Amino acid sequence: MFDFFTFFIYLLLLGLLLILTNIKYSLRIKGFNFCETPKLRTAHFLGLLLISFVVGFRYEVGNDWMGYRDVFLSLKDNLDISLRDQYMEFGYFFVNKIIFKLGMSYEWMFFTIAFISWYFIFKCIPNLLLPYLIFFLFVDEYFFWSMNGVRQFTSISIWLFAIRFIINNDLKRYLLFLGLSSLFHASILIFIPFYFIPYRKINKRNTWLVLFFISLFIGSSSLLLNYFESFFGFLGNKIQFLETYLRYIESNKLFINEETKIGFGFIFKIIINLSIILISRRVINSYPKTTVYFILFFIGSILFNLSFNIQLLGRINHYFLVIRSVVLAIAVFHFWNKPNRRIEKIKSNVLEIKIVRFKKNTNERMAVIGFCLLYFILFLSTIYNSSNMSNPYQFSF
């Protein structure tokens, strides 16, 4: 539905965040460094406070909003309740207890969780790329999803920050931040082995293309769904932290993925996933450190083809698919700033001189504008269709 206030809030928020994070940096030889942790400036913190306020002081926005509010109120009414008496992870449980012990309302709980989540989002990528990342997190619906999968989005944001330590070959810090991430959603623990993947060796674009089309072909197979149900039931009985997620099977929600519908948006995402694989070689050649991001996304795109109708696997796959916003930010930056190399020859009676001139590639810039505009139109459509129950937006006061 069309609600003027809802469109106004979301578009104003996106616009202000892009302005606040679009701090001019010098594009020198190295450009930006994926290994170093960026330092946030005053404008970044203003952006963090702004998005945390919009997320925190919302009312009945997000499919699970009421459930999270009710959990907070029940904890507040039962001060003696322990961690074992409820199903939330320790980190989320601890934040709730701190907020109500300070005499604050559930809005401040949502505000605090949002601030933690977006702080790690802001720190996960070089400042130069941050406006691009924010844009794609919004238009790719992850901002809306963050107000639904509250605990998991916090875990995902810390996971995005931790990927830097795969690039840096820093196992201790990687495990440290995965441990921190698990305090909000235990499912992140299955990503511990991903540190040991030889990313550069498996960076074979043609191989990933073949796997992409194979997975797309077999993704709707009912046989695959049956095998997955049996396999996950077996794992849930063997691995303790997976027992929580057995309720998806027990409540018959395993194959009902309300977030994914086959339509234009679904087909558009498939095309985007394929396009990212196709252009990956050009981007990685310019920024070799980004190999880890692209490989993780390739895995996610294949899992998406296989599991778009499996709700549980789709939820886990968010850890991979959110990286689409990261690689799109890198790719758009690359093609927008890539110079067009032109060689001019000047002849004289004595010698021939070659002059290399660089200018912005107009064709690639036009393609970037068209792509971002199409994505933005899809974003407007998701607002209209109330993605993750985001429309209408209401303040709680």
* HEC secondary structure over 309-367: CCHHHHHHHHHHHCHHHHHHHHHHHHHHHCEEEEEEEEECCCCEEEEEEEEECHHHHHH
State the sign of the Cα–Cα–Cα–Cα dihedral 38, 194, 240, 176: negative
SS3 of 58, please? Answer: strand
Place of tokens 């993780």: 296
Rounded to an integer, what distance in angstroms lies between the CA atom of residue 346 and that of residue 355? Answer: 8
Complete DSSP assignment for 260-311: --SSHHHHHHHHHHHHHHHHHHHHHHH-GGGHHHHHHHHHHHHHHHHHTT-H
Contact 244, 87 (CB under 8 A): yes
DSSP 256: -
Helices 130-139, 323-337: inter-axial angle, 10-degree rounding: 130
Number of helices (H), then strands (E), belonging to the chain: the values are: 17, 2
Please list the pLDDT of the chain residue by residue as tens digits (397 residues).
889 999 999 999 999 999 999 876 544 444 577 888 889 999 999 999 999 999 999 999 999 999 999 989 888 777 667 777 677 888 999 999 899 889 899 999 999 999 999 999 999 999 999 999 999 999 999 999 999 999 999 999 999 999 999 999 999 999 999 999 999 999 999 999 999 999 999 999 999 999 999 988 877 666 565 665 566 556 556 555 555 555 555 544 444 444 445 677 788 999 999 999 999 999 999 999 999 999 999 999 999 988 776 666 778 899 999 999 999 999 999 998 876 655 455 555 555 555 545 455 778 889 999 999 999 999 999 999 999 999 999 999 8
Query: What's phi and psi for 28, nearest 5 deg?
Result: -95, -160
**Is-above-0.75 flag for pTM?**
yes
The 8 Å CB, 24+ separation contacts for 314-318 are: 314/257, 314/259, 314/260, 315/149, 315/152, 315/187, 316/187, 316/190, 318/145, 318/149, 318/152, 318/156
**C-alpha span between 388 and 385 (Å, rounded):** 9
Q: What are the residue ranges spanned by the domains of the chain?
A: 1-195
